[in-house]
Amino acid sequence: MAGTIAIDVCVATFKRPLVLEKLLASLLRQDLDGITMRVIVVDNDHMQSARAVVEAFGMRSNLAVVYDVEPEQNIALARNRTLKHLASDYFALVDDDEMVSEHWLHRLLEAMKRYQADIVFGPVISVFPANPPSWVETNFQRPRRPSGQAVLTGGAGNALVKRSILTAGMPVFDPSFGLTGGEDTDFFYRMHLAGHRLVWCDEAWAKEPVPVDRLSLEWLRRRGFRSGQNYARIFISRYAPYRLPLWFATKFIQLLGAGLTLPLIRLYSYSRYVALSVRMAAAFGQLSYCFSGKYYEEYRIRACP
């Protein structure tokens, strides 16, 4: 790729200075041949728990580093504040609890050029504690796709975006998702509906350690329920009215069938029991939002390392 390309790496963080430090260390190892990287960190903690880590990173690196604070706890507002500091034609999004591969930005850029994309997503690979339960890996797997495959949406944990697709003066991430998550899925799906091209790059990976307290069926069910509500808000709410009766009928039949078979599957395979339980939680989440319009704010109270 000829010439030097400037990229702003945007990070929203909330009370996780220790894991944020590991992300920033991985950015220091980034292959920047032909790339000028700038790092923008917005602290969503009004107590500024990330300030010392970011300032120390700025002093030991040769990178331009921006630190700002979004005092209201809201992941969408924090992400939007990172974008107020953009100075490059491209920006990358990564979560504060991840670590990126050495050639991460190069792979994303190459995919954007090769597939003529406006947005490129890479995989986030879960890293488990030592000796996890046997059912964990299957139920924490994230989707992997062939590079170049077009997608309808994606996550802000690993993405590269052309700044030119943003609408001047308009907030990118919807603050109503600020305590539920899903603001990234919503934004990227709106970009797809607007005609922008979204593709996958399987070589541009990041890794995310999975905390021990997430390795439980209870946590997976809560996450499934919340994800189901977000799915209803983002996708089902856009269905034409004539589609909804059939969708409701199908969902109820699926839940009835799953409920009847769940005890048998529990005897046969705990891993499949967990997977079906999470799918049922997601279906209940979809229905609960459709009937009540209310949603579970998972991030309102969160234990933070």
pLDDT tens digits, one per residue of 201-249: 999 999 999 999 999 999 999 999 999 999 999 999 999 999 999 999 9
Task: Strand 206-209: give its sheet, edge to edge.
Answer: 99-100, 206-209, 124-127
Contact status, residue 78 vs residue 70, Cβ threshold 8 Å: yes
The pLDDT of residue 301 is above 90:
no
Question: What pLDDT score does 304 carry?
Answer: 43
**Region 3-8: what's the mean pLDDT?**
92
The angle at the Cα of 142, spanning 194 to 86, to the nearest 5 degrees, equals: 45
- CA of residue 182 relative to chain centroid, distance: 8
Q: How many Cα neighbours within 13 Å face the side chain of 101? A: 18
The pLDDT of residue 250 is above 90:
yes
H helix or E strand, kind and range, residue 67: strand 64-69
Task: Tell whether pTM > 0.85.
Answer: yes
- Ranges of H-type helices in 61-103: 75-83
**pLDDT tens readout for residues 133-188:** 889 988 888 889 999 999 999 999 999 999 999 987 777 999 999 999 999 999 99
**pLDDT tens readout for residues 54-73:** 999 999 998 999 999 999 99
Question: What pLDDT score does 298 carry?
Answer: 80
